[in-house]
Copies of this chain bind each other. A is one copy, B any other.
Amino acid sequence: MSKFWSTIVRNLVPYVPGEQPKDKKYIKLNTNENPYPPSPRVLEAIKKAANGDLRLYPDPEFHELRDTVAKYYGLSREEVYAGNGSDELLAFSFQAFFEPGKKIIFPDITYSFYPVYCKLYNLDYETVPLDDEFNVPVNDFLRENGGIIISNPKAPTAKYMGLDEIRSIVEYNKDSVVIIDEAYIDFGGESAVKLIKDYNNLLVIQTMSKSRCLAGLRLGLVMGSKELIDGIIRIKNSFNSYPVDRLALAGAVEAIRDEEYFRETVNKIINTREWVAIKLKELGFYVLESKANFLFISHSKINAEVLFNHLRENGILVRFFKKPRIDNFLRVTIGTDSEMEEFVRVVKMLEF
């Protein structure tokens, strides 16, 4: 604690990302990265952009990228914006649409960055308990609130809720902004982007870190009505004129355009996920149905932390959250087939 820190800083409980140890080579199944490299076309576009023009500021309004995404989703440029990872866009959205004193609501088990943003912007919140199978109780979101945020598929459970359920939440809450955080939507879910034309209070946030294999490039996308996007733009232009660099813009455009590589990569991960889920169930694991690039698993006979440490000792990193309700679960990112074969092999070393 320093006497120079503002009240905000003193009260913060910063987010802790998954570990990135450098002591040895691990099979990294702990931060939901994609096991496949980005599209060769993306790498080519970045290399081409690594030229003398880097002396110049990037386009502060991301026109080419926004047009590319708009075309992809059947939206207009005014309904699309970009940011330095979806985390930045989430932060902007919390500040733009939520008001101190008006409680926002989100599920009790969710992306652990949401309460952090609340501290950062002095926002109040209330959590809605998920049911025993980690489903969102839709009715509990049909009540007065200062805003709603739900990840879908949900972090860290991988569970997916259908568009009908999302529609009913957005429909009921016409006076507050509903944010759907779709970091994992491409792994089998249907995006709420198609509801944007019907609801001016719906904001959809996505990332290129997972399905587009670009965690290292920092590129987030946000889609919504023009008035919501304008709110984001006002915050962004009061924070940093150029949050997305020239190389990220060049790579991101190409990542959207290379639909074939995208589909191929996503399908590989889905296929791997499905056989791993079956294997784990055969071993007696409780495996939540996943529409994401990870599995959320638990076993009645082996403590999650014990399994976590066993995996780590054998060169495999997964994510363990020491939190109420989920402290006997592990979140396991889907790697390549051979990485997951090794994962299953190491799991089997334990006696069940």
Binding site for B on A (CB under 8 A): 2-9, 12-17, 20, 28, 31, 33-38, 42-43, 46-47, 50-60, 84-85, 87-88, 91, 95-99, 116-117, 119-120, 175-177, 200-201, 209, 213-218, 227-228, 230-231, 233-235, 237-248, 251
Contact B231 A9 (CB under 8 A): yes
Contact A60 B17 (CB under 8 A): yes
- With A37-B52, A85-B242 given, is the CB distance from A175 to B9 under 8 Å? no
Contact B17 A241 (CB under 8 A): yes
Residue of B54, B58, B97 touching A213 (CB-CB under 8 A): B54
Contact B120 A238 (CB under 8 A): yes
Interface of A is mostly: loop
Copies, count: 2
Contact A38 B52 (CB under 8 A): yes
Residue of B43, B50, B97, B245 touching A4 (CB-CB under 8 A): B97
**13 A-B Cβ contacts within 8 A?**
A2-B231, A5-B231, A6-B231, A8-B95, A12-B235, A33-B57, A38-B54, A55-B216, A88-B240, A91-B240, A95-B120, A217-B247, A218-B244
Residue of B60, B87, B230 touching A239 (CB-CB under 8 A): B87
A8–B217 alpha-carbon span in the complex (Å): 30
Question: Closest Cβ of chain B: how far from A77's Cβ, in Å?
Answer: 15
Residues of B within 8 A of A91 (CB): 239-240
Residues of B within 8 A of A88 (CB): 239-240, 243
Contact B12 A234 (CB under 8 A): yes
- With A50-B46, A98-B6 given, is the CB distance from A243 to B218 under 8 Å? yes
Residues of B within 8 A of A241 (CB): 15, 17, 87
Question: Closest Cβ of chain B: how far from A109's Cβ, in Å?
Answer: 20
- With A4-B227, A231-B2, A234-B9 given, is the CB distance from A35 to B14 under 8 Å? no
Residues of B within 8 A of A50 (CB): 43, 46-47, 50, 247
Q: Name which residue of chain B comes closest to A117, CB basis.
A: B238
